[in-house]
Chains A and B, each alone.
Chain A
Amino acid sequence: MNSKKKNNIVFLFLVIILPIIALFHLFSGEIAIPFSDFYSAFTDFDSENTNQIIVKEFRFPRLMMGIIAGGGLSVTGLLMQTLFNNPLAGPDVLGISSGSSLFVAFTLMSGIPFFNSDFGTIISALIGAFAFGLLILAFSMVVKSHISLLLIGIMLGSFTGAFVSIVQTISNPEDLKMFIMWAMGSLQHVESSQLPIIIAFFIIGIISCFFVVKSLNALVLGENQAFMLGVQVKYIRIILIAITAVLTGLITAFCGPIAFVGLAVPNLVKLLFKTQSHRILLIGCLLIGSIFLLVCDIFVQLLESSIHIPINALTSIIGAPFVILIVLKRLA
């Protein structure tokens, strides 16, 4: 009862802090924009007012993408950690993000018009993530050691990295340009017109997670025990990979690779809530993941005028030491 109360207080705190940080995120940026322009950007948009354009077309999509990418990546990290029973799992370390990079590279540089559309990019990122998800799943059936599986994931990452550079050298310079733009990704590339499709995919992904909460709770006991508790392990595995593919593919397609969020945030959430109830963990990941990425992006924007740090670099700087901490704690 006591811990439940504590968790509720933490949730309340997070629910209050998220909009505050979101608001702060909207206001941070190189250009100071008066509040009146923020207000009218949403109420009475003037397409001739530069400040309002910046709010509507730059700040707001960036904010939404921060929330979606932070929350989404953290949730996929949680799913992977539970599926593989491995606290160091995440879509990036397992090579699932690399899968979507590879497919986006292929399709962008193929020059086929369909794949130059938003929908085409999402679909190819999603297929890539799903294919690599299944691949790592197949490996996990053979490889029992946590570390070995992660090594395989990292190898998949290097493999695709090398492959992408080969594709780059043989593709035509114009198509290559599109890919380089994409690969340098950030939260800023999203456009307001793309938001509906992104939000739709995101909501589908997140809602599906809540349908498998019960199976996730049982899966922490291992696949055999989960099976004995009536979980359809075979299907659940595929479903979890599919959800991960949708969310990772979506986020990778629009933001490029963002490392360590999927790994670090779920561990942080578990540490904070001290539970394995996935209903709580999922909500925790959504809230803390969003807050984490928004805070990172606020730093990126505050430093913008003096130094440009890619968001991916910042999340890695914070995430990597955290991972080392987890490993040390496990060894101890």
Chain B
Amino acid sequence: MKFYFFIYLAFVIFSCSEKKSKSVVLAKEGVIKYAKNIEIIKNKDLVLVHLKDPETNQIEKRFALIKNNSIAPKGYIKIKTPITSIIALSSTHIGMLAKLNLTSIVSGISSHLYVHDPLILKKYQLGKVVEMGDENSIPVELIIASKSNLLMYSGFGNSFPHEEQLENIGINCLANYDWRETHPLGKAEWIKLFGYLTGTEKEANLYFTKVENEYKKLKKIALKVKSNPSLFSGVLVGDSWYSPAGESFNAVLFKDANCKYIYAKTKGTGSIDKSFEQMLKDNRSTEYWFNPGVISKKELLNIQHKFSNFEAFKNNKVYSYSYSGNEFWERSAIEPHHVLSDLIHILHPEIKNKRNYYFYRQLK
């Protein structure tokens, strides 16, 4: 009995010490506070990036960002930094690079129709930025020909097609799960990844701290306000009305803006769908309507005349970011404080509005 216990103890100690020896190499300084789908660990001369599967929250891929020629630790894929050429398939990637004044290194995009950044559009017209199409059907040749260091994709499906072959020829594929983050600051925090990838981590961290402080400040202001208006969100698609679920990104924004969102207590981080009848029943007299996905009341009526039954519609309290379209998608992820500022100033007019809204406008 004793003997077995001894073995057991030895085993535990042994395994612990093994773990420890590994972690000596690894954990020095975690730099992520809000984001759930990424870990960045800073070491002396390398930065470790762990991407987590948003569903299971398990680490699904490990990258080592290394500046010199040394090899990556076991189990890690090396990315030699700073990268000088990147294929950025999502608007948020472009927005974050723009914040770091780095859109010049973008070599590929999915479609110019969804780009706002003037430099990229100009380079696209000159043929220096390549349009690659939907991320699940990009021709491999196009990626290879672009001679980029890194391909950043959204990871809607599983891994990127031909990922291994591309890595063999020196093009790393990295899934950016910022779109699965449920906290606005968590989403913005992904800028740190861009910082470490491009050698601008100082600027990135500085910027994020600024956003974080601004966001918290605004949240406090909103909490002090007495008014607590109600709002609903989204629009009818087919027969279903998709609204942000209670634990989703948008629901957090609504909460931080101090308003009553009728589906705030629903479960889930994605969206909930309701029938049109149910939506009318629940929200006919709700005060505000956000994010209808169009830019005019006339357009709403064109889609569905029955929208006119909502009080928010009658009272001209419908607000949309769609005026800014691509600009919104590029900037909102990295400027959550500006989105929150818009919401707060719309919902609580008693707070004196110093400036125009950043993204939102009232539907006319």
Touch test A–B (CB under 8 Å): yes
Contacting residues, chain B, for A54 (C-beta < 8 A): 277, 280-281
Interface class of chain A by DSSP: helix
Number of A-B residue pairs, CB cutoff 8 Å, is: 62
Contacting residues, chain B, for A50 (C-beta < 8 A): 280-281, 284
Contacting residues, chain A, for B309 (C-beta < 8 A): 53, 57
**Is B239 interfacial (CB 8 A cutoff)?**
yes
**Is A46 interfacial (CB 8 A cutoff)?**
no
**Is A3 interfacial (CB 8 A cutoff)?**
no
**Is A181 interfacial (CB 8 A cutoff)?**
yes
What band does the interface of chain B fall in when counting residues whose beta carbon is under 8 Å from A?
Answer: 20 to 34
Contacting residues, chain A, for B281 (C-beta < 8 A): 31, 50, 54
- B323 → chain A, closest Cβ, in Å? 11
Contacting residues, chain A, for B293 (C-beta < 8 A): 177
**Is A193 interfacial (CB 8 A cutoff)?**
yes
1/0 contact string of B299-342 vs chain A (CB within 8 Å): 10011111001000000000000000100000000000000000
Q: How far is the CA of A60 from the CA of B221 in the complex (A)?
A: 47
Given contacts A30-B275, A173-B113, A188-B276, is CB(A308)–CB(B240) below 8 Å? yes
Contact check, B275 vs A53: say whether CB atoms are below 8 A apart. Answer: no
Which of B239, B303, B305, B325 interacts with A308 by CB under 8 Å? B239
Contact check, B275 vs A304: say whether CB atoms are below 8 A apart. Answer: yes
1/0 contact string of A44-82 vs chain B (CB within 8 Å): 000000100110011000000000000000000000000
Given contacts A31-B277, A173-B113, A304-B275, is CB(A57)–CB(B306) below 8 Å? yes
Q: How far is the CA of A24 from the CA of B295 in the complex (A)?
A: 39
**Chain A residues with a Cβ closer than 8 Å to the other chain, count:** 28
1/0 contact string of B270-298 vs chain A (CB within 8 Å): 00010111101100100000000111000
**Is A248 interfacial (CB 8 A cutoff)?**
no
Q: How far is the CA of A207 from the CA of B10 in the complex (A)?
A: 93
Contact check, A310 vs B238: say whether CB atoms are below 8 A apart. Answer: yes
- A5 → chain B, closest Cβ, in Å? 43
Smallest CB gap from B113: residue in A:
A173
Contacting residues, chain A, for B295 (C-beta < 8 A): 174
Q: How far is the CA of A58 from the CA of B294 in the complex (A)?
A: 22
Contact check, B305 vs A193: say whether CB atoms are below 8 A apart. Answer: yes
Contacting residues, chain B, for A58 (C-beta < 8 A): 276-277, 280, 306
- A120 → chain B, closest Cβ, in Å? 11
**Is A186 interfacial (CB 8 A cutoff)?**
yes
Q: How far is the CA of A152 from the CA of B147 in the complex (A)?
A: 47
Contact check, A184 vs B113: say whether CB atoms are below 8 A apart. Answer: no
Which of B113, B237, B325 interacts with A181 by CB under 8 Å? B237
- B364 → chain A, closest Cβ, in Å? 16
Q: How far is the CA of A186 from the CA of B325 in the complex (A)?
A: 28
Given contacts A53-B309, A57-B306, is CB(A310)–CB(B239) below 8 Å? yes
Contacting residues, chain A, for B304 (C-beta < 8 A): 189, 191
